[in-house]
Structures are given as C-alpha cells and as structure tokens.
Structure 1
Amino acid sequence: MYLYLSIRFGKIVSRGFFLLAFLILFVSAVSASVVIENDEKLTNITNADHPSWSPDGKMIVYAANQAIWVMNSDGSGQKKLYDGMAWEGDPVFNDDGTEIYFAAESKKAYSARYISIHMMNADGSNGLKLTESADSREPSVNPDGSRLAYASRASGNYDIWTMASNGTDNIRLTDGDGDETSSSWNPEGNTIVYSSSGDIFIIDIDAVRPIGLIQDTYNNVEPAYSPDGETIAYASDVGGDYDLWLMNPTGSSQVKLTSDLSSEKAPSWSPDGNKIAYVSNEGGDYNIWLMTFGDEEIEFELTEKTVDIEENQINNTQLIKLREYAIKEPREFIGIVLLFSFVFVVFIVGSFMRKIS
C-alpha cells in the first residue's frame, strides 16, 4: 500500500514539476533577451513611411509627402531626393548603395493611372521605369543585387514576383487568394518572407508552396529579416494599435518591442543588426524613428524547432493576452507562476498525507 502511494506520489510530483518547468519555459520564451538602449524620433514631417538603410549604414532613404527623401542615419541632412509631382514611395537602396529602387504613380495616354517600379541613381538622377501597366510596388533587393522581389497585380490581386535588377525576367513566386505584399529576402537570398491578408509566410524561391509562420485573427504585416537571418521583425495589431514584434524565422518566440498607444510599423534593420528604423504616429503624424539595441546579442531562450504549420499557429486569444501580460509585467507574471506552483505542491502534499493517515 505504502509502495503504491509512494509511486503515485512520485508521479504526481513529477507532473507538478513538469508543469512548473513548462510555465518557466513559457516565461523565458516571451522574455527573450532584447535590451533597447535608445529610441528617438528622427524626422518632423507628415506621412513619412518605408525607411530603408544604405548598405554602409550611413544613410536612410524614406518616403514622405508623396516624394522620396534621404537623410543621415542620425536624422541630420534631411533633403528631398526626388519628386515627380505624382505619388512616389517604397524606396530601397540597391546592394552597393549606388542606386535606389522605388514605386511611383504612372500614366499612359488614354489609360488609367497605375503604380510602377522605377530605379534611379542614389543622387536622384537618371530615373528609369522597370515595370509597365499593372500595379507593381514594394521592391526588395536580394543580397547580391541581382534580383528584386516585389508585389504586383499583373495576375489580378497582389502576388509576390521576382525580376532581374534591370526589370527583365519577371517570375511570379506566389499565387494566393489574398494580397501578398511586403517581401524581404533572407541573407542567403534563397528565401522570402512576406505578409498575406494579415498573416506571415515564408517561401523558398524554388518552392511551390509557402509555409505559414503566423496565422491568427490579427493583422501581422511588413516582416523584415535581420541581417544575420536569425530574427524577423514585423508589425502586429494584437494589442489594438500596431506595435513592433520580433520572432524566430520558424515563427516561434514572438517578442513585443513597443507598447505605445500609437502605431509603430515598417521596421527596417540597420546593416549591423543593432538598430531598427521604423515609422510611428506618436504625437500625431507618422515620422521616422530609430530604435537602438544594447550590446547584448538578441537571443531567444526557446530552442528552435522545425516549422510545423499546425503547431505554430497562435489562435487562442487568451493565450495571446497571457503572452502580452508576461511581456509587459514579467516580474508579476513570474510571481504568479511561483505562487501557483507553491499552492499546487502544497495541495499535492496535503492530498498525499490525507491518503496515508
């Protein structure tokens, strides 16, 4: 009898410690090592959007008031680089910083207006249109500068396409039901992350089907690979307004970076991976902000695993709220976990003692 109860007690305690270990692991997963050293506003303009770094990290190109602007990475030297008297946006430097790709509104005689992809020298000279007819925008340059990924309506809704850097050899990469936008290359140039109808996917450039990283009831948009490919920044409206988040390339270990009442979107990594330029409407108008991380390397405590579409989905609203609470109040959350664990162990011991008495 005592042997049976001892074995049973051992199993119950083991399960209790397993639960405790799971809760502690959960806390470490949402409390990954991310130290924000500084967060500052760089511009004081209206409708700023889409910051993008030069390869040497010294310049940031961005869109504002339907024109293309450039500035030093500390916010100084702001100047309008190109204004074709129509809408221009989505600027990005090429791989060596000598050219800039961007999107602009175009019009042919006796035809409707459409958005096309253009390129120009980094000083704003020698503009050249690369796409025609269908709306095409959001160019993203692969690591060696040989190809662009972009969003195009050439086949109906927005799909992700790729083309050579001179505008030739156009290849459709995705063909989903919704609009697929905001493409970003991994450092090896063989995988692209993008958003589709509020979800985030990755796809190999030679693959047939994408893999879902985040698929829930919220809008998760504008994913961007870090320079080392170990982290993906993105924007999500999980808390109501858009905030910046980080996650592993597998879609696990989502970590919230901002918790303001304003909206933060369009994250763009510096070439050294220590900073993120983004847009925020804190104070009213959308402007470019710069977030600087501490010297500590961004690390996720949760061991990476192979992506499993069924396992990686976060569809439980309560779990998301719990995750947010753990991020905002980690000490209180850990205290609650420890208190729960203590009560749980006391309950187990009490039950065991009643059975043997």
Structure 2
Amino acid sequence: MGKLGQMAGSVTLAAAVGLSGSQALPALARATPGDPAPAAGTGRPAAPVEAGLPDPVAFVRDGDVYVSKGATEQRLTTGGGHARPRWSPDGRQIAVLNRGQVWVMKADGSGQRRLSTRPAGGPSWSPDGKWIAFASLSCTGGPGVYRISATAGGAKPEVLFPRDCRGEKLPEETTAGPATGSLRERLQYDNAVAWSPDGIRVAFRGGDCESTYDACLSIGTVATGEEQTVAAYGGGGTQNRGFAVVPSWRPDGVKLSWTAYEEGETAAGNKPVHLVEYDTATGAERTVGSALDRELSYADSGHAVVTSRNNGGSWLTVLRLSDGTRTLLRSGSQPSVRPRPH
C-alpha cells in the first residue's frame, strides 16, 4: 500500500454529536460488541471497581464519546463515528475526531464545533490550550502534522512536520472510509499525535524516518522542525516488521508510551499488540501491561488507563505502572484522563 493509501485508510477511526445526562452504572458494564476474543494468557484477571479513578476519563464506546467519573458516566455524543477524544489542558473542553475531522466541544458535550474539514488523525492540545495538533496528508504524500488555532473561527491549518512542507501549498483534502479489519490492521495506520507537556515537541507516526524504515515513530521539535526516530521497523538494517502508534506523554514529560506490534526474525521474537514505555532522557524502553493492552493515557507518574481485553470486548483498565496491578473500570476504548490542575 502506498503512503497516500495508508494515510487515507487511517484518518477515520471515528463519528457524530449529541448530549445525554449522567447515569449511574454498575461496575461491570457490558462489553463492546464485535471485538475478537482475547488470546489465552493475556494477563492476570482484573477486579472490577465501584469508584474508579478520582479523575474523569473520556473514552469511546460504539463510536460515541462518554465521560466516566467513579460509578457514573455521561454520554456526550450520538450517532457514532467519533474517535480519539482528548481533554484540553484546563479540562474544560474535549477535542475529538468526528467522522475523521477535528471537532471541539465543552466538557459536557455542548458547544460542538468543527475546526477543520481536512481528514485527520487523533488530535492533541498544546499545553497552553491555544493550538490543536493533528495528523493529515503532507506535501510529501505521507502523514504530516499540522496545528490549528483552538479558538479562532475559520482558522487554517499550519504545517509543523515535515519541516520541508512548511510554506508549501497544502495538499488537496481527501476522503476516507472507516478503518476495518483486525485490531492490528486497524491500529497500524492510526495517526494519533501527542504534544509534549513542555510544548516543545510532538510525537507522531512516520516522519523523515519513513525514507529509511517501513514504519516508525518520531518526536519532532516544533520550533526547528527537527525529528528524532524513537521506534523503527523494517529496513535500515532492522530485520523485523511492526508499528508504533498512539503516543502518550507522561505529565512530567520524562516518559513517552506508545502502542506497538512486532514480528521478529523468528517466532520467538514476535510480540502481539502491546504497550511500550520509553525514557526520553536515556532511551531505555520497557513493556508495560499485558498482551493486547493498547492506547495508554497517563493519570500520573505511577498510574495509567489503558484499553484491554475482557470477556471478548474492549475495556478501560487502570494500570499501576510499578507492578502491573490491574483494575477494570468499564467497557470502552481510547481513554483520555483529564489533566490535573498545576
């Protein structure tokens, strides 16, 4: 598949908008239908909790956005087609993909407005709340990263990466259908991006490293456009295949996590979908969570919410990063933990 096809196939994880009230739910909510059954031996059993995290979590179930706090949840959208909700730094707004385009809404689901008609990968707020970064087709034909004002009406996207596309005419807008296939196939070209807590860098799938590798993940410096490759698969002397997608920064910026998949030179080197945590100072990596865990969102330096497998469906799971202790939260996927005030 060419890079244009890869980009088009990845921009719609997503879909439409509405509002409903809060409702109390039992701790064991229903599982999301249509997901494949989990593989055997994918981790310890997780115990359900009544209260959950102290911080609200935005997530997706059946294509709509919900916010969960303790034993209650509020549905923010209707109609399906939504993906990758992300809280604003002050916790008052949520950016989301709506049928593959970037929208924002208030934390209660009201005031929904579209920021751009350009097909997009998962958005991320700048730490000052002024900008939203998202992935979309670049002037090179592969995925690029743009930013757009989160407040100005009629704002136009600006290119962040690749650096050589800055100042070039924006590519024509394309349309894309929803991502289909297995979990691995749906994740492979997910273009969610992550703006670092200090505002200096953005992590994203692809980048200049795609001229050397078959798949890669980069950290780009906003001011200069320079890129650093932090994960790479196939080509460039590497004898593996795989991908690294859906990056997430720890609130202190010291660690970066992503969802990965790897096929090694031999079967012994194969790793199904899993989570990697990367130390940005030393470059050290470690696997966190269990097999088929994905889409990590940090709550603090010691805890995160991930999407896991349970009873044949996707579930939000609280993960203690120090020892892997797991606690089921509720059915759903694509978690985003609301930032804590500084």
User: One fold, TM greater than 0.5?
Assistant: yes
Q: Deviations over 1:195-216 (max 9, x none)?
A: 2264121110022331111213
Inter-CA distance 57–159: structure 2 relative to 1 (3 Å threshold): farther
Native 8 Å contact 2:116 2:157 kept in 1: no
Matched with 2:31 is 45
Inter-CA distance 127–172: structure 2 relative to 1 (3 Å threshold): same
Q: Which has the higher strand share?
A: 2
CA distance in structure 2 between the partners assigned to 1:42 and 1:173 by the alignment: 43
CA distance in structure 1 between the partners assigned to 2:302 and 2:290 by the alignment: 20
Matched with 2:211 is none
SS of the residue 1:241 aligns to? strand
Matched with 1:288 is 316
CA distance in structure 1 between the partners assigned to 2:147 and 2:54 by the alignment: 25
SS of the residue 2:320 aligns to? strand
Matched with 2:220 is 203
Inter-CA distance 141–274: structure 2 relative to 1 (3 Å threshold): same
CA distance in structure 1 between the partners assigned to 2:252 and 2:314 by the alignment: 29
Matched with 2:105 is 120
Matched with 1:80 is 75
The answer to whether structure 1 residue 194 and structure 2 residue 189 are counterparts is: no
Inter-CA distance 266–149: structure 2 relative to 1 (3 Å threshold): same
Inter-CA distance 88–248: structure 2 relative to 1 (3 Å threshold): same
Among candidates 114, 119, 130, match of residue 135 of structure 1: 119
Matched with 1:278 is 306
SS of the residue 2:94 aligns to? strand
Paired residue type of 1:222: V
Matched with 1:252 is 283
Matched with 2:296 is 267
Runs of 5+ consecutive residues of structure 1 not aligned to the other structure: 1-40, 50-55, 106-114, 296-357
Paired residues in the alignment total: 233
Q: Normalised by the size of structure 1, how large is the TM-score?
A: 0.59
Among candidates 179, 192, 195, match of residue 185 of structure 1: 195
Paired residue type of 1:150: F
Among candidates 80, 100, 103, match of residue 97 of structure 2: 103
CA distance in structure 1 between the partners assigned to 2:190 and 2:261 by the alignment: 18
Native 8 Å contact 1:102 1:117 kept in 2: yes
CA distance in structure 1 between the partners assigned to 2:34 and 2:298 by the alignment: 17
Q: Which has the higher helix share?
A: 1
CA distance in structure 2 between the partners assigned to 1:86 and 1:258 by the alignment: 29
Native 8 Å contact 1:148 1:163 kept in 2: yes
Query: Whose Rg is larger?
Result: 1
Inter-CA distance 267–43: structure 2 relative to 1 (3 Å threshold): farther
Cα distance, 1:42 vs. partner?
7.7
Computed over aligned residues only, the root mean square deviation of the Cα atoms, in angstroms, reads 3.0
Cα distance, 1:62 vs. partner?
0.7
The answer to whether structure 1 residue 70 and structure 2 residue 101 are counterparts is: no
Cα distance, 1:294 vs. partner?
4.7
Runs of 5+ consecutive residues of structure 2 not aligned to the other structure: 1-26, 36-52, 166-187, 207-213, 234-240, 263-269, 324-342
Matched with 1:233 is 257
Inter-CA distance 145–243: structure 2 relative to 1 (3 Å threshold): same
Paired residue type of 2:125: V
Native 8 Å contact 1:180 1:194 kept in 2: no
Paired residue type of 1:174: F
SS of the residue 1:255 aligns to? strand
Q: Deviations over 1:33-61 (max 9, x none)?
A: xxxxxxxx986431799xxxxxx962000
The answer to whether structure 1 residue 219 and structure 2 residue 213 are counterparts is: no
CA distance in structure 2 between the partners assigned to 1:48 and 1:206 by the alignment: 43
Among candidates 89, 101, 121, match of residue 83 of structure 2: 89
Cα distance, 1:102 vs. partner?
0.7
SS of the residue 2:122 aligns to? strand
Q: Normalised by the size of structure 2, how large is the TM-score?
A: 0.61
Inter-CA distance 62–292: structure 2 relative to 1 (3 Å threshold): same
Native 8 Å contact 1:45 1:64 kept in 2: no
- Percentage identity across paired residues of the two chains: 18
SS of the residue 2:297 aligns to? strand
Inter-CA distance 150–57: structure 2 relative to 1 (3 Å threshold): farther
Native 8 Å contact 2:121 2:193 kept in 1: no
Paired residue type of 2:86: V
Among candidates 143, 155, 165, match of residue 150 of structure 2: 165
Q: Deviations over 1:301-328 (max 9, x none)?
A: xxxxxxxxxxxxxxxxxxxxxxxxxxxx
Native 8 Å contact 2:162 2:225 kept in 1: no
Matched with 2:172 is none
Inter-CA distance 141–57: structure 2 relative to 1 (3 Å threshold): farther
